[in-house]
Amino acid sequence: MSFWNREIETLPEKELKKLQLERLKRVVEVVYNKVPHYRKKFEEAGVKPSDIKTLEDIVKLPFTTKEDLFVDYPYGLLAVPKEEVIRLHTSSGTTGKPKAIFFTKKDIDFGAELIARCLVMSGTTKGDVLQNSMTYGLFTGAFIMHYGAEKVGVMVIPAGPGNTERQIELMKTFGTTCFHMTPSYALYVASVILEKGIDPRKDLKIKRAYLGAEPYSEETRKKIEDMLGIDVYNCYGLSEMGGPGVGFECVYKNGLHIWEDAFLAEIINPQTGEPVKEGEIGELILTSLNREAMPLIRYRTRDLTYFINEPCPCGRIHRRISRILGRSDDMFIVRGVNIFPQQIEAVLMSIKGVAQNYQIVLENYDEMIVKVEIDRDFFDGRVERLLKLREEIIEKLRKTILVRPKVELLEPGTLPVSEGKAKRVIDKRTL
């Protein structure tokens, strides 16, 4: 078992908690004294830094919501003098106006340290070749991964997303051993590799992929692993917490370790704001314990998950969460039923004959249309086979989401390909 920072990764629970408490006290003090918006929020909640005596006292502190990031935009939550800031990133703006996130030099270095732990934990090491196919730009994902990989001594190919032909050429020419992409784009790239007649097990050197930035199901992971003969590791992060590297899987792929020296994680009931019972699903709340430029207290991620409390055989003490089950922002309602796109994805990706791409179209409140690409050989004129597949998809979806959707089967390549985060739901009701 390899470790990048064995000492911190295997710190006994008691010491880890002690470190968390020290850092929590410090960060609360900092935002209270340096960020007027936080001071105001704390005063409104009737809480002072000296009220934080144990980790459990965190519940006394108010939540930070996405809306707080727009108060005195863009510098309202800065906790250091502006001259200390060396980088701006923004969230990808999946859900509205982009949030401005600032980094000091130490913030960038620490982000890279967390990624270094993540990469080594899943077997990536000096000598590996990482094709980084996330967007280099305002988005944090590509940069922080890039620095972390360089720290480990990996050779990085800063490919960026898109131009799939070139992606595959790079993989072949430079012997890419791992890549970093969104899962939706990885499905597409994998399908092009196979369509070109390339045998990924023989002709490519890829061993593993780091897929994240958007929710995906276990079925999608398996599908990509089978198509390419690789291991897929789930990586979770968000710009507000300094980018990727917040939660990563180890070789056991049994949930994502959250680096608890860097983040204090809670899971709450999004309706009541109260902590959920052990192991229950709720909204992940993160407090950045070690960020300088813009530490956030009890940040409401809107991402749904649960804690996995059993110890991990890898020996890391840092607690695990399940893969993100959905973003509360992504939930939509059809005929009064709450549905997440991932539920549909999981069903589709488990059905033989379904290809890589799909789209959900909401025309009105009673009807949902699922457009799904299926393998090319289904379009050989055998209509009955096609109808049977369509019926299978409808039935399996109905059983899971309790609504009978309309299903349209399409040839591969019909739906738009996303190179970054996929837009799965077209909601015509709100356009």
Q: Which positions lie near ligand ADP, rule CB under 6 A?
A: 91-95, 139, 212-215, 234-239, 301, 303, 324, 327
Decide which of ligand ADP, Zn ion, none touches 307; Cβ closer than 5 to 8 Å per partner kind.
none
Furthest-apart CA atoms within the chain: distance in Å = 74
**263 pairs with which residues across the strands?**
288
Q: Which stretch binds Zn ion (CB under 5 A): 93-101, 136-144, 233-241, 305-313?
A: 305-313
Question: Of residues 79, 142, 250, 317, which one binds Zn ion by CB under 5 A?
Answer: 250
> Which residue number, 146 or 409, has a Cβ lying nearer to ligand ADP?
146
> Which residue number, 254 or 269, has a Cβ lying nearer to Zn ion?
254
Q: How far apart are CA 106 and CA 101, in angstroms?
A: 14
> Which residue number, 175 or 313, has a Cβ lying nearer to Zn ion?
313
312 binds Zn ion (CB under 5 A): yes
Contact 223, 285 (CB under 8 A): no
For 255-381, strand residue ranges (E) read 256-258, 263-268, 282-288, 299-305, 307-308, 320-321, 326-327, 332-334, 337-339, 354-364, 367-374
Decide which of Zn ion, ligand ADP, none touches 314; Cβ closer than 5 to 8 Å per partner kind.
Zn ion
Decide which of Zn ion, ligand ADP, none touches 319; Cβ closer than 5 to 8 Å per partner kind.
none
Helix (H, G, I), strand (E, B) or coil at 135: coil
Decide which of ligand ADP, Zn ion, none touches 52; Cβ closer than 5 to 8 Å per partner kind.
none
CA atoms within 13 A on the CB side of 245: 32
Question: Angle 106-107-110 (CA atoms, 0-180°, nearest 5)?
Answer: 80
Question: What minimum distance in Å lies between the beta carbon of 32 and ligand ADP?
Answer: 26
Decide which of ligand ADP, Zn ion, none touches 327; Cβ closer than 5 to 8 Å per partner kind.
ligand ADP
CB contact set of 190 (below 8 Å; sequence gap of 6+): 200, 224, 227, 228, 356
> Which residue number, 247 or 405, has a Cβ lying nearer to Zn ion?
247
Question: Of residues 304, 314, 368, 372, which one binds Zn ion by CB under 5 A?
Answer: 314
DSSP 385: H
> Which residue number, 206 or 213, has a Cβ lying nearer to ligand ADP?
213
Q: How far apart are CA 74 and CA 294, in angstroms?
A: 11
Decide which of ligand ADP, Zn ion, none touches 309; Cβ closer than 5 to 8 Å per partner kind.
none
Binding site for Zn ion (CB under 5 A): 250, 312, 314, 316
